[in-house]
A and B are shown apart, each in its own frame.
Chain A
Amino acid sequence: MASHSQVLVEEKSSVRILTLNRPKQLNALSFQMISRLLQLFLAYEEDPSVKLVILKGQGRAFCAGGDVSAVVRDIGQGNWRLGAKFFADEYMLNYVMATYTKPQVSILNGIVMGGGAGVSVHGPFRIATQNTVFAMPETVLGLFPDVGASYFLSRLPGFFGEYVGLTGARLDGADMLACGLATHYLPSTRLTALEAELCRVDSSDPTVVSAILDAYTQNPHLKQQSAYHRQVLDVIDRCFSGRTVEEIIAALEREASDDWISTTIRALKKASPASLKISLRSIREGRLQGVGQCLSREYRMVCHVLKGDISKDFVEGCRAILIDKDKNPKWEPWRLEEMKDRMVEQYFKRVEEEEDLKLPARKNLPALAMAKL
């Protein structure tokens, strides 16, 4: 096992521990990592000696997302289809994880963003710690919450998913547990002991794994500024249930102003108008769709984003946030009302001469995975 490898593999009896290993890039998912993960996951599914898969990250991040700077380079060279291939593989991996026949335990001891959520939240067990920082920051990058986020965000209680997906708000481990993005919470000091115990489990029965995790889990207090307190949640349900982005912002502006309200409004005004509108629509459709349909739709959307045939905000967002770091993107269209319904509509149509995402056929699905179809 080479230490320079981007995905480290440990074999402990019937358990495989995979470690994302690009700590300098906060374990951002490269094309290579995605291919490797997909290959490993598919192989483990066939291998009767493997019962359980653990996924974690090296260093202070679990995974800060997909490596989009490489994709932006491809677009710059006039090769958006290369980028599309990256997303196709990533979504395929998300789909395999969502419909996996063996339990996946993700240890989220650090930053979990965008694509990082995609490789963890679809699995049945997500462990948060005091170090966890979660966010779906795509709307400030000119992208939209993808990797199946339209499936899992839309299934959070009330309209919390719209809030998290549109504003890119950060959640800590306690928030994640409260809203259901995480299934367990423990202090990071106990992770070693937990891992050791999981390695002895020798079973693929989710109830057995769950019993072990339940013994370690704690119920942390929500922080003072958490958005998951009742009064804030009520505001979120009142405002983020709005039919359109404009209505959501108008509703927020009608609320009595406080720190949370002004931060939220600021976040929405900073984000790409095109991104906000397609993200909202994506979450709303995702609520009524299975995980496969969600990923297929997101793939159509991301192809339009990469191709830049409606808006080029993705390149601009990456420039302003990741490359030039001037944090001053020039969105086009600039205002929400300029982003017309028929432009939004365009994102949901198939890109010409581009195949729809081909999801792999799945067999022997457990009931939990069947329910996601």
Chain B
Amino acid sequence: MSENRALQRAHILANHILRSPPLPSSLSLAREVCLQYSPPELNESYGFDVKEMRRLLDGHNTEDRDWLYGLMMQSNLFNRKERGGKIFVSPDYNQTMEQQREITMKRIWYLLEKGVYRGWLTDSGPEAELKKLALLEVCGIYDHSLSIKLGVHFFLWGNAVKFFGTKRHHEKWLKNTEDYVVKGCFAMTELGHGSNVRGIETVTTYDPRTGEFVINTPCESAQKYWIGGAAKHATHTIVFSQLNINGTNQGVHAFIAQIRDEDGNICPNIRVADCGHKIGLNGVDNGRIWFDNLRIPRENLLNSVADVSPDGEYVSAIKDPDQRFGAFMAPLTSGRVTIASSAIYSAKVGLAIALRYSLSRRAFSVKANGPEVLLLDYPSHQRRLLPLLAKTYAMSFAANDLKMIYVKRTPETNKAIHVVSSGLKAVLTWHNMHTLQECREAVGGQGVKTENLVGQLKGEFDVQTTFEGDNNVLMQQVSKALFAEYVSCKKRNKPFKGLGLEHMNSSRPVLPTQLSSSTLRCSQFQKNVFCLRERDLLERFTSEVAQLQGRGESRESSFLVNHELAEDLGKAFTEKAILQTILDAEAKLPAGSMKDVLGLVRSMYALISIEEDPSFLRYGYLSRDNVGDVRREVSKLCGELRPHALALVSSFGIPDAFLGPIAFNWVEANAWSSTERGESLLYQMCFFCIYVKRTPETNKEIHVISSGLKAVLTWHNMRTLQLSYPNFHECRESCGGQGVKTENRVGHLKGDYDGQTTFEGDNNVLMQQVSKALFAEYVPCKKKKKTFQRIGIGAHEQSSPCVAYSTHIFCPLMQPLPGRKQRVHLPFNLDVLGIARLMYALICMEEDPSFLREVSKLCRELRPHALALVTSFGIPDAFLGPIAFNWVEANASLVFSLVTTNKLFQ
């Protein structure tokens, strides 16, 4: 024994000194002497042709993409660095906001010089558009700021000129835009109005004496806000404004205005201020604009839909202002298309990093003295990442499909594009945020290190859920569109056509009562389940709305009351559309290994969607037993997808250099020899401890409770600061764009507190410990027929004990809720705390498909107390962000320099 130990020590020393591989020995040492990195490529095999899969996923312009990857890797502007012998390119997010903006602009110039944007505005046709979309996607994989800054210039400014303008605008601007002779921005959003474009307050009048339009910002809430490019670089802008002709408001119109001269000086009658530091995307110079009687030539009205004659007469082929507005906004779908696909590429980056890491990082041994187990060999880790991988695949096909419909658009397909792009933009961006957070947690502490990207990307991509239409608003639009379609078909007694609703023409699908494994994996069954949900929710939604309308409610308020159904319906529609695209992709493949694996991926997508949506139980499409079968099948599929994990992420085709160092040799990347002086990319996190008082007797109880609470509370915090599920209204997203502004705190806090889900024990590991402890408590008690005394266990059985247990701790006043259905009676005259407690209990049940309950009534009851409840948190005003108070004044042009306030103090 002692001899063994001496030998082992000698090995360790030798290893440290010589860095040579350990000598093969007959010793019974099961563990490696020193932890070594082993590339997943050496241990995993590829069950299908990765290159072909990549071609299928990218869908188009693979070679153009590779060319652009190469252009970035070969230039010093893209912040090349070496880690563990490999080259990585990713922006230096430790630069100041000013530096990030300047380097982003320099990267744009470099790519311009290389001819990357050739034809982006001057060529047309599907082929040219697809190439442009592919190249933009690659830019977004490198850095979201880069693709957004390009997107504003080409897709917002450029496309507005192209689609809202006519020949005179095209000739004057398009080529100059492509060559960056002019730098464009797009002033639509205002401080007071974002998604509700028709409510904007900027006003334009016409002066027939000079033949000029006069643009004005009448009040502080009318200032243009979040205008990308406005703070530093843009020379021109599209201005969205109400057009007032002879006292008649003709609605929102778009104009071209110059805001800077060639030397970058701000033009007269224009005021510009900075939006400041943000939680991400700091390479984009978002600014604010005020117009003070700015005069622009009459020709600068983008007149594809309506025009004003020289003598001041308003002319438009479309008389109805609603239709006019619709026709006007239709071309803007391109933004949602690009956001949806860039969200998927960002999720791919996150998953490639997290899965590669989980194939090389080990933790804990299952047997004493056994080797530590690879993270991805834990079923729980598979369950965290592989369903997200499958969703990313399915959504990748959906994004490609959307691009194809978009580039081949005709006036007839406009409506379908609007609806599908709204749903996909929302679902795909939510999926991205959810995936990045899960990947961040799955790589543990390494995820908060900026150079490893997964954590940083959350901030960079967060705003996707807001811009180009708030996700919740978009989802409601999907439901409204489906409602309109339904009503019009029923009214005219015509069959459904388009939007994938054709299945409504045939009879309601009947699902088998028993679900075997092969049934669950059958594509027809999966389609039927998704169709059934969509159909039923659509029927419910329309009948609920019709009922309310029958009682004299307006249509809008009937929608509002039924917002939960509307959300469920929007989700059902979008998820079915996604399922259809992966089914189509699969059907086109010849029989073979690739088709087989894609079949597994598709089944995983279908089943995880069922597993995660309580609607199936809530409305009774599936029974409790069915849902149990689905859950078991998901975990079986995890095991079957596990061997393909590396091949599946390699097929994403993201070059190594665009992933983070932990995706590769993270031992070498962190070796002493690779340290560089003066470099510290690790941002310090704000730590705070959970302090627990303990006595020897309570140790076990405290351990279990603190584990459960730490996990549940930190997850709750992350979800409150950002939530990833469409069903929740969360702080960051419900503040809209304001949430990404650093000074407003909500977005920023996410980064500061993210580490909580990892340090002091990974949340998932903690939750497992809770279950293990409960198991340990349960078994002896049952055995010895003793009553449960400790850690608050009631004599009840739960299918998912840890969540149920944590929930249970929170509401000591609630009786334990057994697994069987039990109606919860709402006592009358509840005090506020009572409502809050009940709301807590019920929302827990609502979100956990183990229970079923409606909570909207309580929402309404809590609404009057909302202010009082948050005020009771006792956070002093000074510690909240400016949007919590007078955000109009906080953004007013007069106070944007802090000098005034400072003077007050002096």
Say whether B115 contacts A247, CB under 8 Å: yes
A372–B74 Cα gap in the complex (Å)? 17
Q: Per-residue CB proximity of A343-373 to B under 8 Å, as 1/0?
A: 0000000000000000001101101101111
Q: How far is the CB of A233 from chain B (nearest CB, A)?
A: 12
Closest chain B residue, CB of each to CB of A287: B70
A237–B19 Cα gap in the complex (Å)? 40
Say whether B74 contacts A157, CB under 8 Å: yes
Say whether B85 contacts A371, CB under 8 Å: yes
With known contacts A159-B74, A371-B665, A243–B115 Cβ distance under 8 A: yes
Contacts of B671 in A (CB 8 A): 367
Interface check A281, CB cutoff 8 A: yes
Interface check B701, CB cutoff 8 A: no
Contacts of A365 in B (CB 8 A): 39, 42
Selected contact of B70 from candidates A284, A368, A373, CB within 8 Å: A284
Contacts of A101 in B (CB 8 A): 21
Contacts of B63 in A (CB 8 A): 281, 284
Closest chain B residue, CB of each to CB of A48: B23
Closest chain A residue, CB of each to CB of B86: A371
Say whether B665 contacts A285, CB under 8 Å: no
Q: How far is the CB of A146 from chain B (nearest CB, A)?
A: 18
Contacts of B655 in A (CB 8 A): 287-288
Q: How far is the CB of A204 from chain B (nearest CB, A)?
A: 7
Interface check B611, CB cutoff 8 A: no
Q: How far is the CB of A301 from chain B (nearest CB, A)?
A: 13
A364–B115 Cα gap in the complex (Å)? 44
With known contacts A157-B74, A285-B66, A287-B73, A368–B85 Cβ distance under 8 A: yes
A285–B67 Cα gap in the complex (Å)? 8
Considering only residues 264-310 of chain A, those with a C-beta below 8 Å from chain B are 281, 284-285, 287-288, 290, 292
Say whether B85 contacts A367, CB under 8 Å: yes
Closest chain A residue, CB of each to CB of B71: A241
Interface check B142, CB cutoff 8 A: no
A281–B42 Cα gap in the complex (Å)? 27
Q: How many A-B residue pairs have CB under 8 A?
A: 71
Contacts of B86 in A (CB 8 A): 371
Interface check B668, CB cutoff 8 A: yes
With known contacts A157-B74, A370-B668, A205–B656 Cβ distance under 8 A: no
Contacts of B553 in A (CB 8 A): none
Contacts of A247 in B (CB 8 A): 115
Considering only residues 370-409 of chain B, those with a C-beta below 8 Å from chain A are none
Say whether B665 contacts A288, CB under 8 Å: no
Contacts of B74 in A (CB 8 A): 157-159, 237, 241, 287
Interface check B186, CB cutoff 8 A: no
Considering only residues 58-92 of chain A, those with a C-beta below 8 Å from chain B are none
Closest chain B residue, CB of each to CB of A247: B115
Considering only residues 195-250 of chain A, those with a C-beta below 8 Å from chain B are 204-205, 237-238, 241-243, 247
With known contacts A247-B115, A370-B665, A288–B70 Cβ distance under 8 A: yes
A216–B287 Cα gap in the complex (Å)? 58
A285–B86 Cα gap in the complex (Å)? 17
Contacts of B69 in A (CB 8 A): 287-288
Contacts of B85 in A (CB 8 A): 367-368, 370-372
Interface check A154, CB cutoff 8 A: yes
Closest chain A residue, CB of each to CB of B50: A293
Interface check B664, CB cutoff 8 A: yes
Closest chain A residue, CB of each to CB of B51: A348
Closest chain B residue, CB of each to CB of A283: B70
Q: By the criterion of a CB under 8 Å from any partner CB, how many residues of chain B are at the interface?
A: 33
Contacts of B41 in A (CB 8 A): 290, 292, 373
Say whether B19 contacts A205, CB under 8 Å: yes
The interface centre, meaning the residue of A288, A362, A373 with most chain B CB atoms within 10 A of its CB, is A288
Interface check B507, CB cutoff 8 A: no
Interface check B64, CB cutoff 8 A: yes
Contacts of B664 in A (CB 8 A): 370-371
Contacts of A362 in B (CB 8 A): 42
Q: Per-residue CB proximity of B7-34 to A under 8 Å, as 1/0?
A: 0000000000011110000000000000
Say whether B42 contacts A364, CB under 8 Å: no
Q: How far is the CB of B372 from chain A (nearest CB, A)?
A: 19
Contacts of B667 in A (CB 8 A): 367
Interface check B84, CB cutoff 8 A: yes
Interface check B168, CB cutoff 8 A: no
A290–B40 Cα gap in the complex (Å)? 13
Interface check B37, CB cutoff 8 A: yes
Contacts of B66 in A (CB 8 A): 284-285, 287-288
Interface check B772, CB cutoff 8 A: no
Say whether A367 contacts B115, CB under 8 Å: no
Q: How far is the CB of A357 from chain B (nearest CB, A)?
A: 14
Contacts of B114 in A (CB 8 A): 241
Contacts of A159 in B (CB 8 A): 74
The interface centre, meaning the residue of A237, A238, A370 with most chain B CB atoms within 10 A of its CB, is A370
A361–B41 Cα gap in the complex (Å)? 10
With known contacts A287-B73, A368-B85, A370-B665, A243–B19 Cβ distance under 8 A: no
Closest chain A residue, CB of each to CB of B671: A367
A238–B74 Cα gap in the complex (Å)? 12
A158–B655 Cα gap in the complex (Å)? 17
Contacts of A284 in B (CB 8 A): 63, 66-67, 70
Closest chain A residue, CB of each to CB of B650: A293
Q: Per-residue CB proximity of B654-669 to A under 8 Å, as 1/0?
A: 0111000000110110
Say whether A367 contacts B665, CB under 8 Å: yes
The interface centre, meaning the residue of B63, B74, B85 with most chain A CB atoms within 10 A of its CB, is B74
Q: How far is the CB of A150 from chain B (nearest CB, A)?
A: 12
A288–B67 Cα gap in the complex (Å)? 10
Say whether A243 contacts B67, CB under 8 Å: yes
A282–B699 Cα gap in the complex (Å)? 63
Q: How far is the CB of B339 from chain A (nearest CB, A)?
A: 25
Q: How far is the CB of A52 from chain B (nearest CB, A)?
A: 14
Considering only residues 87-108 of chain A, those with a C-beta below 8 Å from chain B are 101
With known contacts A204-B20, A242-B115, A368-B85, A373–B39 Cβ distance under 8 A: yes
The interface centre, meaning the residue of B37, B86, B671 with most chain A CB atoms within 10 A of its CB, is B86
Q: Per-residue CB proximity of B111-139 to A under 8 Å, as 1/0?
A: 00111000000000000000000000000
Q: How far is the CB of B93 from chain A (nearest CB, A)?
A: 23
Contacts of A368 in B (CB 8 A): 85
A284–B85 Cα gap in the complex (Å)? 20
Q: How far is the CB of B592 from chain A (nearest CB, A)?
A: 13
Q: Per-residue CB proximity of A145-173 to B under 8 Å, as 1/0?
A: 00000000011011100000000000000
A275–B331 Cα gap in the complex (Å)? 44
Say whether B668 contacts A367, CB under 8 Å: yes
Considering only residues 655-711 of chain B, those with a C-beta below 8 Å from chain A are 655-657, 664-665, 667-668, 671
A159–B86 Cα gap in the complex (Å)? 19
Selected contact of B656 from candidates A155, A288, A367, CB within 8 Å: A288
Closest chain A residue, CB of each to CB of B69: A288
Closest chain B residue, CB of each to CB of A161: B74
Contacts of B657 in A (CB 8 A): 288
Q: Per-residue CB proximity of B60-86 to A under 8 Å, as 1/0?
A: 000110110111011100000000111
A5–B67 Cα gap in the complex (Å)? 45
18 contacts between A and B (CB under 8 A): A155-B87, A159-B74, A204-B20, A237-B74, A242-B115, A243-B64, A247-B115, A284-B66, A287-B70, A288-B69, A290-B41, A367-B665, A370-B85, A371-B84, A371-B664, A371-B668, A373-B41, A373-B42
Which 8 A-B pairs rank lowest in CB-CB distance, beginning with the nearest? Answer: A371-B85, A364-B21, A367-B668, A288-B655, A371-B86, A287-B70, A368-B85, A373-B41
- Interface residues, chain A, with chain B CB atoms under 8 Å away: 101, 154-155, 157-159, 204-205, 237-238, 241-243, 247, 281, 284-285, 287-288, 290, 292, 361-362, 364-365, 367-368, 370-373
Given contacts A241-B74, A284-B66, A287-B70, 14 further A-B contacts (CB under 8 A): A205-B18, A238-B113, A241-B114, A243-B64, A287-B655, A288-B656, A288-B657, A290-B41, A292-B41, A367-B84, A367-B665, A370-B668, A371-B84, A371-B668
- Interface residues, chain B, with chain A CB atoms under 8 Å away: 18-21, 37, 39, 41-42, 63-64, 66-67, 69-71, 73-75, 84-87, 113-115, 655-657, 664-665, 667-668, 671
